[in-house]
């Protein structure tokens, strides 16, 4: 455990400084931990793997868009566990499951592991994107999906570089909100 904590924390801090490779390997490692965590929890109330994958993706999106709330002076695992747990409780509330059936408070096994390559959620990224305001959609398309640099994206979308960055950031947050809203209906 202590070594996993140190490794994950290093990746997180490097990611906060803008290291894309570290950020990627952090999200990859966390996706395996989160998958194990959510599958374990949901299996006990007879829910399937797709639903667990929905949660994995929501948690990853939250970890990414809320990374500014991580204080590097604090350990990383409790921050991660708080997000994973919050998303689980929120999910169970929205889908009207009884919280009593799922053991939410046992910490620790947020470090469970499940490597299921190519796992898929029920969300359709392109359909979700199409519901975002045009500015955010185009910014995410250019910078996050086509891999253009911010400067190139700014040229293509006729926006300033700062506006592109803001649109990407807001767009990802809006995406997370869309997913949450979709679930309630």
Partner 1 sequence: MKTDDLIAMLSTNVDPVDRGQVVRVVSIAILVGGAAALGAMLFTLGARTDLSEVSTLTYLPLKLFFTMGTLVLTSIALTKLARPGGERTTPVTLVALPLLVIMLVAAISLAATPSSHWEQMIVGDQWLECLLSIPIIAIVPFAVIILALRRAAPTDLVRTGALGGMAAGAVSAAAYAFHCVDDSLPFVALWYGGTIALCTLAGATLGPRLLRW
Query: With respect to partner 1, which residue has the nearer C-beta, 47 or 129?
Result: 129
| Residue 95 CB, nearest approach to partner 1 (Å) | 15
Nearer to partner 1, 15 or 36 (CB): 15
Cα–Cα dist 26/139, whole Å: 24
For partner 1, the closer CB: 27 or 112: 27
Nearer to partner 1, 94 or 97 (CB): 94
Which residues are CB-neighbours of 8 under 8 A, at least 6 positions away?
Answer: 26, 29, 30, 76, 77, 80
Shortest Å distance, C-beta 69 to partner 1? 4
Interacting residues toward partner 1 by CB under 8 A: 15-21, 23-24, 27-28, 31, 35, 53, 56-57, 60-62, 64, 66-72, 74, 78-79, 81-83, 85-86, 90, 117-121, 123-125, 140, 143-145, 147, 149-150, 165, 168, 172, 176-177, 180
Give the N- to C-terminal CA distance of the chain in Å, as an integer: 39
Residues 6+ apart with CB under 8 A from 91: 54, 55, 58, 183
Dist. CA 139–CA 142, nearest whole Å: 5
Nearest distance, CB of residue 146 and partner 1, angstroms:
9
C-alpha–C-alpha distance, residues 66 and 58, integer Å: 12
Q: CA-CA distance, 17 to 127, in Å (whole number)?
A: 31
For residue 101, the minimal CB distance to partner 1 (Å) is 21
Nearer to partner 1 (CB atom), residue 4 or residue 86: 86
């Amino acid at each position: 455990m202590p070594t996993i904590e140190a490794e994950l924390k290093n990746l997180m801090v490097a990611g906060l400084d803008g290291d894309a490779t570290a950020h990627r390997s952090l999200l990859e490692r966390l996706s395996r931990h989160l998958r194990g965590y959510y599958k374990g929890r949901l299996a006990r109330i007879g829910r399937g793997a797709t639903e667990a994958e929905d949660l994995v993706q929501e948690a990853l999106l939250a970890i990414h868009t809320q990374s500014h709330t991580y204080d590097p002076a604090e350990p990383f695992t409790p921050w991660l566990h708080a997000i994973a747990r919050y998303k689980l409780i929120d999910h169970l509330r929205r889908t009207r499951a009884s919280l009593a059936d799922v053991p939410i408070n046992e910490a620790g096994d947020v470090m469970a592991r499940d490597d299921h390559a190519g796992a898929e959620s029920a969300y359709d990224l392109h359909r979700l994107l199409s519901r975002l305001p045009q500015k955010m959609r185009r910014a995410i398309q250019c910078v996050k999906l086509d891999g253009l640099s911010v400067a190139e994206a700014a040229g293509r979308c006729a926006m300033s570089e700062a506006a592109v960055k803001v649109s990407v950031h807001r767009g990802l947050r809006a995406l997370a909100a869309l997913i949450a809203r979709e679930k309630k209906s």
